[in-house]
Structure 1
Amino acid sequence: MSAPSYTRRDTLAVHGGQSPDPATGARAVPIYQTAAFVFPDTETAASLFNLERTGHV
């Protein structure tokens, strides 16, 4: 049995053009999960929380 090939089109599409992170060796871009965002002022925050404007809350 031959070694598996990881060069299928879908794999290349996901990882193409990316280089491993030199500090961590991570192969893929990490997914950052956060529950807190910074707003420029209270009016912007209020309009987002009141669903008057689109954005991250």
Structure 2
Amino acid sequence: MSSISVGELKSILENYPDDYEVVMNIKHKYPISKEECLRGWCAYINGVKADDDFREIRLMN
């Protein structure tokens, strides 16, 4: 898997107003127990999508 660098993310985000909310949805095809949640919910960010209607920046996996 690949991800974007901190520099790339900063460069992308500087084009959007400061009051936009940054969100990320992570979905799994299998259930993850509470004990494994930290290990199981890790995801690489490899894209960004802006939703101007809701004033959100969505981090994509």
Higher strand share: 2
Q: TM-score range, shorter-chain basis?
A: under 0.3
Question: Which has the larger Rg?
Answer: 1
Task: With the length of structure 2 as denominator, give the TM-score of the two structures.
Answer: 0.21
